[in-house]
Structure 1
Amino acid sequence: MSTAPARPRAALLLLAYLAFVSLGLPDGLLGVGWPSIRSDFGVPTEAVGLVLTAGTVGYLTSSVLAGFTLARIGVGALLAGSTLLASLALTGYALSPVLAVLVGCALLLGLGSGAVDSGLNAYAAGAFGPRHMNWMHAFFGLGVAIGPLIMTGALSAGLSWRWGYGIVAAAQLALATAFALTVRAWRRGGPATTGAATAPAVRVPIRATLRLPAVWSGTLAFVLYVAIEVSAGLWAFLLLTDGRGLSAAVAGGCVSAYWGSLFVGRVVQGVVAERLGATLVLRVSLVGMAVGAGLVAVPGPAALAVLGLVVVGFAAAPVFPLLTLTTAERVGAAHADRAIGLQIGAAGIGAALVPAGLGVLIGNTSVEVLGSALVVLALALVALHEWGARRSTDRPNGQPVPAQPAGEAQTSGPVRPVVEGR
């Protein structure tokens, strides 16, 4: 058998990993850079909500439209154009004279990031299989871990926060160039050439999906999970500096350690989940998130809060990928695609509204409220998951969902629902 196709597929896989690193970089920049940004623009702490909301609106819009765009221009062109847009938006961040311009750039960044995220996930689901899906999300964590280091390095060198965004904008431009040069390779290496059988169509009305309690409990679970992940990363720097007395350089390194633990956890626990099963790993991870949040909430030395953040990051690592991969088990294969779409959209909402609300709460009380908020969110997520697990034995329409061995790629693809109307 020829191994010629393996080389371009390996190159595309490397680009996919780098793209997920690039998706995480801006998220890591904002948490460390925001105190300097708000000082330069003369705005209150809670103004970060405007940036997060604008980014979420762009992200949700492009995520919804990505499926239609893919059919017209292909994944390679979508990735190249969207990454270029992200690079231009980050350049706008670096040059913004006022907050209003930065908010507009956040909208553009969300448009670019949402298209890259949706396009790569859609491509990888058919071309790379579940193992690489997990590792791609791990590389997102790596990108978010590198982001604070870039911004901390710029600030520690006496440079403006604008340099941090300028550096990442240049990296995004290089990635956009790589995508543009490999447009044809993405088309040749797509799911259509992998030998996977076409998934059977099953007619499922939209209203049948929306009536399932498991769809909405899963959607809310994504809101809570992403709210914890983003809130901890966004406000940890402020907690460690203003609340626990660490220097900016040390606190920036600690925030990077939080995101780094998310990356390491996804690499390690992906292997563990294959051996022990997703259900057990999810339960232990959710409890671990609550324990880590408790450590952050306990008044004490900065080291205790840092330990709590690392525990939260490591425990949270496999939750997003495993919740996504087990969606069909909760809602049924015929409803899975639609449910995942709702979940990803809800994740974007949770990433913006809850951290922004926490910013308002912190601005009117104290940054120490962060730990208590994380505890409440983590306990709510544990309770919601346990409630959903008890109901998962009642399959949609009474039909069991066939189990798939952990770590194995699907050979026939998921059942694809056909939309019949509202």
Structure 2
Amino acid sequence: MTLLLLLVIYLAFISLGLPDPLLGAAWPVIQEDIGAPLDAAGYLFMIISVGTIISSLLSGKVIKRFGTAKVTFVSVLLTAGALLGFYFAPSIIWLAICAIPLGLGAGAVDTALNNYVALHYKAHHMSWLHSFWGVGATLGPIIMAQFITGQQAWRNGYLTIAGIQFALATILLLSFPLWKKVAQNRNVAQSEATEAIEEEVQEQEKHEKPLQIKGVKLALLSFLFYCGVETTVGLWGSSFLVDVKDLSAATAAKWVSLYWGGLTVARFLTGFVTFKLSSRMLIRVGQLIALVGAALLVLPFPTTFSLVGFIMIGFGLAPIFPSMLHETPTRFGKKHSQTIMGYQMALAYTGNTFLPPLLGLIASHSTIAIFPFFICVYIVGMLLCSEQLNTLLRKKNLRAA
């Protein structure tokens, strides 16, 4: 029963990844078809991101009231409707309107399922969960590419993805009894150390709001820096390789695709590593590997080392995000974990939205050669926040003992 529910959650995360890269993949044809300016895609992306941030911040109260199953179902239904709206949209205004429910739906389902898996499943399931997001994010452009062959074919691509989302919404609706049965039979195993920390955190929570719990703000900053690294590498990596390393655009794109591929594959492999290493150790090791990879981009080595650097950054980042999410209930207690998870996802999307353009703004007035230095600063910031948080948790553990 529990395994069957986990499969449903994995399917939901594949569907979560499907729409994310569609706008970028289809924009050249969308722009020509509806006569939109080039920079309109950026505004649509920001509308989606703002909607995602808002729904992440509100998700704690909403999920507490209606439950994970219902919120996930409605969110996927909202996303499917938004994608269907893209299919019918006659102008950029309608695309902007449809972008609102697309962002709202994505943020709610992301937060809901991350917290559910963090509470009820092992760390390897969280790593595999996010590798399935990578599967969806990879399949989305592939599906769209199959349709971008004729006039207005991008619409058929959106229609196909919308159909997949509606099918998943139907599966989620039919799975409501399954969620109830699993909830009734759920017994989450905890170690004595975790129980001691949990008791202390619960005692603090009687008088504290989520943001007042020690370490929460450090965790939020860690998510901000993490997503700043991940998205900045993906967005500006090709430009750095073309302008600084003198590679062709096609070769640079292939190298950056290896970064995304390495991140997705490594998340799947990390699921097996979690049987041997704790989430905290995986976070630390991942940050150090990513920092070494960024250093290879900074140092004046032959171009081949840049390829190794990109792959190392992808492999290093792979375990960090899932492990930080899975640690949330252990770090801050179950009572506020859903609300804090929403805050973390909101800061993650904030990092995705604003930190990469910050580099672009500064580079436009200087040079894209600053790219690896920004990556190093973001990784070091994440590492410092993470280690300071670990210090606070160790002190909390000692007091509990």
Which residue does 2:185 correspond to in 1?
193
1:43 and 2:43 correspond: no
Q: Is the 8 A contact 1:74 1:187 kept in 2?
A: no
How many residues matched? Answer: 389
Matches within 5 A, 1:14-413: 14-34=7-27, 42-45=36-39, 48-70=41-63, 73-152=66-145, 154=147, 161-189=154-182, 191-195=183-187, 202=203, 204=205, 207=208, 210-211=211-212, 214-236=215-237, 244-247=247-250, 254-296=255-297, 305-327=306-328, 339-361=340-362, 369-395=370-396, 399-400=399-400
Deviations 1:256-283 (A, max 9, x none): 4433322221222232233133333222
Deviations 1:158-192 (A, max 9, x none): 98655543432232222122223333333333x23
Alignment partners' CA distance in 2, 1:100 and 1:107: 11
Alignment partners' CA distance in 1, 2:25 and 2:297: 18
Aligned letter for 1:320?
A: F
TM-score by length of 2: 0.79
Identity over aligned pairs, percent: 33
Deviation at 1:300, TM superposition (A): 8.9
Deviation at 1:194, TM superposition (A): 2.0
Alignment partners' CA distance in 1, 2:374 and 2:329: 31
Deviation at 1:127, TM superposition (A): 4.4
Aligned letter for 2:71?
A: L
Which residue does 2:193 correspond to in 1?
none
Aligned letter for 2:37?
A: V
Alignment partners' CA distance in 2, 1:272 and 1:42: 47
Deviation at 1:76, TM superposition (A): 3.5
Aligned letter for 1:87?
A: A
Alignment partners' CA distance in 2, 1:330 and 1:76: 24
Aligned letter for 1:193?
A: N
Deviation at 1:133, TM superposition (A): 2.6
The Cα RMSD (Å) is 3.8
Q: Is the 8 A contact 1:292 1:308 kept in 2?
A: yes
Alignment partners' CA distance in 2, 1:146 and 1:299: 36
**Mind listing any 5+ residue stretches in structure 1 that lack a counterpart?**
1-5, 403-422
Deviation at 1:388, TM superposition (A): 3.5
SS at 2:21 equivalent: helix
Q: Is the 8 A contact 1:219 1:342 kept in 2?
A: yes
Aligned letter for 1:117?
A: D
Alignment partners' CA distance in 1, 2:240 and 2:30: 17
Distance change (3 Å), C-alpha of 1:294 and 1:87: farther
Distance change (3 Å), C-alpha of 1:236 and 1:154: farther
Which residue does 1:412 correspond to in 2?
none
SS at 1:394 equivalent: helix
Aligned letter for 1:180?
A: L
Q: Is the 8 A contact 1:20 1:140 kept in 2?
A: yes
Deviation at 1:55, TM superposition (A): 1.9
SS at 2:20 equivalent: helix
Aligned letter for 1:133?
A: M
Alignment partners' CA distance in 1, 2:264 and 2:210: 33
Bigger Cα displacement from structure 2, 76-85 vs 360-369 = 360-369
Alignment partners' CA distance in 1, 2:166 and 2:357: 29
Alignment partners' CA distance in 2, 1:356 and 1:94: 28
Distance change (3 Å), C-alpha of 1:309 and 1:157: farther
SS at 1:313 equivalent: helix
Q: Is the 8 A contact 2:204 2:213 kept in 1?
A: no
TM-score by length of 1: 0.76
Distance change (3 Å), C-alpha of 1:39 and 1:216: farther
Q: Is the 8 A contact 1:218 1:343 kept in 2?
A: yes
Q: Is the 8 A contact 2:228 2:356 kept in 1?
A: yes
**Mind listing any 5+ residue stretches in structure 2 that lack a counterpart?**
191-197
Deviations 1:96-135 (A, max 9, x none): 4444433332221111112222332344345444432332
Alignment partners' CA distance in 2, 1:72 and 1:328: 19
